[in-house]
Amino acid sequence: MPKLSEYITALESNGALHHGALLSDEYKKIALNAFVNTNETKISKKDFKENGAQYSLVRDEQGKIFAIYNPGKKQGIANGAFGIIKIAQNIETNEWCLVKIQKIKKQGNNLPGFIDKIHAEKKFVNKAQILHGYQQRMSVEKNTFISYIFMAEVPGLAVIDAIHPERGFAKSQGENLTDLQRLVILKNALARLNELRQNNIIHRDLSPQNIFIDEDLQVHFIDWGAAAESDMQGFCNDFPPQLGALRRKIRYANGYDFITLLDTLSELNVLDNPEIRGEILRMRNQCGDNKKGYNSIDLTSLINSTQNLIDQYCSKQQKMSI
């Protein structure tokens, strides 16, 4: 899976960036004018090239124009069964963002259900306060429905890369992340999860490729295609189809996201701190993991405990520096 930094580095090295922008001022004017007298929402990369850079242009529903970087048809930040996430840029503000592109061929009556799914995902991206733009269109030529969900953040590195001593944020020292950095990542991940809970959102797909960490160790979640809305107790009635016959027997709560998040972080040795591991495991056991239901949990106490450990580490470091 390519990293965001690799895309930016590639663009810089091949001379495709113009003061941080995909388009030079001249080509920006051409791009803006190209949409003036047309109802088209997309200009293909084959019709718009500069210095060998590969990108297409999309105008969202609000009239904002984005350049989408296309290094290859199958390359993206993340790939799923229904879509691909790529890097994009608002050509007027030069703001980098992510775009999830989803396509489906029209076959029988399958289209309305697919469009409903797209609109539901858009709603969750909006509730997560990262919606930057949206567009949908029907390609008559290919008999295909296409949607673009622009998410207003470029969130650093996938968690597996961010904590790797040779690829991550500690690579200049060639070392693993410190205990303090791991605690900060844990606290920020739990805080982000708690924000979703307060908005009655269950992400349901917190796999390693969907958890990103930036250089400030803030945690971001991407790809909201499996998200669902919960009730005030954290339960919902919408389940992924792969559960088959079990669908009616499972109740989701924010405990489901909690378990999958901890499993991901545990596999990557983020939870090595012995002082916090016991409390994490205790709370994990309270969630339930028996394919019958996941109890809703209060994350506040675990966030506070993690913050107390962070404060203790900072206090020790200050004393050692005196």
- How is residue 256 written in tokens? 């489901």
Give the SS3 label for residue 43. strand
Q: Are 40 and 137 part of one and the same domain?
A: yes
- Least confident range from 45-49, 80-84, 261-265, 291-295: namely 45-49
Q: Are 60 and 131 part of one and the same domain?
A: yes
Residue 96: give the domain boundaries: 4-151
Q: Are 120 and 173 part of one and the same domain?
A: no
What is the number of domains present in the chain? 2
Give the SS3 label for residue 203. coil
Q: Are 146 and 164 part of one and the same domain?
A: no
Strand partners of residue 144: 105, 139
Among residues 98, 131, 151, the one where a domain terminates is 151
Report which DSSP code applies to 245. G
Does 31 score more than 90 pLDDT? no
- How is residue 27 written in tokens? 């080509």
Whole-number Å distance between alpha carbons of 78 and 56? 19
Report which DSSP code applies to 137. E
* CATH code of residue 199: 1.10.510.10
Q: Are 131 and 206 part of one and the same domain?
A: no
Q: Are 22 and 120 part of one and the same domain?
A: yes
How confident is the model over 66-89, as a mean pLDDT? 75
Among residues 151, 180, 196, the one where a domain terminates is 151
Specify whether the CB–CB gap between 158 and 3 falls below 8 A: yes
Q: Are 164 and 145 part of one and the same domain?
A: no
Q: Are 130 and 238 part of one and the same domain?
A: no
Most confident segment among 33-37, 278-282, 302-306: 302-306
Among residues 151, 171, 203, the one where a domain terminates is 151
Query: How much is the pTM?
Result: 0.77
pLDDT score, position 166: 59
Torsion angle in degrees (nearest 10) through CA of 127, 155, 262, 223? 50
pLDDT score, position 45: 62
Q: What is the mean pLDDT of the chain?
A: 77
143: left (phi over 0), alpha (psi -120 to 50) or beta: left
Computed from CA positions of residues 105, 108, 113, 119, in that sequence, does the dihedral angle turn out positive or negative? positive
Whole-number Å distance between alpha carbons of 312 and 214? 24
| Beta strands across the sheet bearing 211-213 | 157-158, 211-213, 219-221
Q: Are 13 and 92 part of one and the same domain?
A: yes
Give the SS3 label for residue 289. coil
The candidate with the shortest Cα–Cα distance to 276, out of 288, 262, 290, is: 262
Q: Are 115 and 192 part of one and the same domain?
A: no
* CATH code of residue 145: 3.30.200.20
Does 122 score more than 90 pLDDT? yes
Of 293 and 124, more confident: 124
Specify whether the CB–CB gap between 242 and 178 falls below 8 A: no
Q: How many CB atoms lie within 10 A of CB 120?
A: 16
- How is residue 223 written in tokens? 């790809």
**Is residue 133 very low, low, confident or very high in pLDDT (cuts 50, 70, 90)?**
very high
Cα Rg, the chain, nearest whole Å: 22
From residue 99, how far is each of 6, 82, 127, 145, 146 by CA, in Å?
Answer: 17, 13, 16, 16, 12
Give the SS3 label for residue 206. coil
pLDDT 10s digits, 175-218: 567 778 888 988 999 999 999 988 888 898 888 888 888 888 89
Cα 153 from chain centre: 9
204-231 per-residue burial string, b: 16 or more CB within 10 A, e: under 16? bbbbbbbbbbbeebbbbbbbbbbbbebe
Q: Are 257 and 296 part of one and the same domain?
A: yes
Which residues are CB-contacts of 40 (< 8 A; sequence separation ≥ 6)?
A: 59
Specify whether the CB–CB gap between 23 and 35 falls below 8 A: no
Q: Are 127 and 258 part of one and the same domain?
A: no
- Least confident range from 12-21, 122-131, 153-162, 305-314: namely 12-21
